[in-house]
Structure 1
Amino acid sequence: MSEFYKNEKTAQQYIQMTEGYDPSLMQALFSKWIKTTDTILELGSGPGRDLEWITTNYEVEGSDYSPFFVNLLKEKFPAMPVHQMDATALETDKSYDAIFSNKVLHHLEHDQLAESLQQQWKALKPGGKLLHTFWWGAHEEEIMELKFKYYEIEDLKILFEEQFEILEIYRYDEIEEKDSIIVVAKKK
């Protein structure tokens, strides 16, 4: 993972970049696939944009690699468990009904993503679900010291299908037309 989010100045830049975030896609996915009684872990909670609405309807725990964001989340959501966690190692002794991330796992190299999925499989209860979003494409780039790995749908299918049944996978519009991919999968 990049050191970008560990630096308060660059983390604040990220917070400004995500102003005006529209949570409607994630809200729709949750209402379709996640029960309000499910226990949920968010990987890479950042400043808590998704947590702002999830905590009103679901039992959720936040996590982030960045100590800055972990402290921010603990201040913002004092009743919610928040963990400093690497999405690759996913060091937890808990099990969850669902794990999700919104544009987080694209910072991982291919082998790191495969390891993260293996660790997520271990942390999910039987029949547990994953909801993850990625940038679509077949390239890598670095923006403001952050590495981005873009994925094709077929590449994600290969990574997920070994341990998960894919329930939904499709491209959607975030900034540009069809620039993103959503994956919803169930533990086999």
Structure 2
Amino acid sequence: MCLCLGANWSPEDLMYDFIRKSELFSWWDAGFCDKESWYLKGIQDAFVVSQLRASSGLRICEIGGGNSRVLRQLASKNTCVNVDKFEGSGNGPQVIDVIPGVEIVRSYMGEFDSALEDASFDVVFSISVLEHIPDDSLGDCFADMARILKPGGRMLHAIDLYVHEKPREVSRVNAYRRHAENPELGLDWMEEPAIGKLVRFHCDFATNSDQQLANWNRINSGLRAVREVTQNCSIKMGMVKAG
């Protein structure tokens, strides 16, 4: 079994920071992600693939994967599970596109479903999911994800965030960190998180395109005013379970 998160995995790959343009450009240069996927989910896919592309013989669980793009790339060499109820939550799919080698568990994290056994996965990850979880459910979600991780297992998340140019405290950013650092979960950072209490946009952040934001306005116009004055970026979160 190869318990690695990528050919060049290092402790610095477990983090709490924003995805940067330099990283995205290097992933494109390496040729293991799709340059045509210029929207935010494509950027987030590239982050996760950069961590997992060399994995083999692992049990990997994607949270809210829908018709997963990433598990398609991992299922031939790993045992993959997609935890999703396919109820269309967060503009997700309601019809399952069967992916060979990927098991579907119709559940949500935080329900502590017995179909997902304790300490049964080497990797748990999500892409553009955690930002959709209600504040009062976030603690149970992190607890459930930690529950199904094996000791030494890795947790990876790519999380959407609208970022202003002026520094401001974002309660949701602090909530992710607070729940992840709950000592009862046994999760550790491998380096000091780079995101502090105050968050502001920097020009080296990888961002969603304005065209995609305009498309989203047609789906959900309620956030139009926010999109007009922010950049849509992605947090990258990585932790390891002690053991």
TM-score in terms of structure 2 length: 0.55
Find out whether 1:42 has 2:42 as its counterpart.
Answer: no
Would you say the 8 A contact 1:174–1:180 is kept in 2?
yes
Residue in 2 that maps onto 1:61: 81
Residue in 1 that maps onto 2:96: 72
1:138 CA drift (Å):
8.1
| SS of the residue 1:52 aligns to | helix
Q: 1:87 is aligned with what amino acid? A: M
> Which of 157, 171, 188 pairs up with 1:165?
188
| SS of the residue 2:144 aligns to | helix
In terms of fraction of residues, the more strand-rich structure is 1
Residue in 1 that maps onto 2:199: none
Q: 2:81 is aligned with what amino acid? A: E
Residue in 2 that maps onto 1:14: none
Find out whether 1:89 has 2:111 as its counterpart.
Answer: yes
Compared with structure 1, are the counterparts of its residues 64 and 150 closer, same or farther at alpha carbon in structure 2 (3 Å cutoff)? farther
Distance 1:170 1:29 in 2: 19
| SS of the residue 2:76 aligns to | coil
1:53 CA drift (Å):
1.3
Residue in 2 that maps onto 1:180: 234
- The RMSD of aligned alpha carbons is 3.2
Identify unmatched segments of 5+ residues in structure 2.
1-38, 165-169, 196-204, 210-230
| SS of the residue 1:47 aligns to | coil
Of structures 1 and 2, the one scoring higher in RCO (CA 8 A, sep 6+) is: 2
The alignment-based identity, stated in percent, is 19
State which structure, 1 or 2, has the greater radius of gyration over its C-alpha atoms.
2
Identify unmatched segments of 5+ residues in structure 1.
1-17, 140-148
1:136 CA drift (Å):
2.5
Alignment of 1:8-19 (within 5 A): none
Would you say the 8 A contact 1:173–1:179 is kept in 2?
yes
Distance 2:156 2:181 in 1: 14
Residue in 2 that maps onto 1:127: 152
1:63 CA drift (Å):
2.1
| SS of the residue 2:111 aligns to | coil
| SS of the residue 2:189 aligns to | strand
Would you say the 8 A contact 2:61–2:121 is kept in 1?
yes
How far does the alpha carbon of each residue in 1:55-102 deviate from its partner, in whole angstroms, 9 at most, with x for none?
A: 2342211121215757523xx224421111112214134211111110
Compared with structure 1, are the counterparts of its residues 86 and 93 closer, same or farther at alpha carbon in structure 2 (3 Å cutoff)? closer
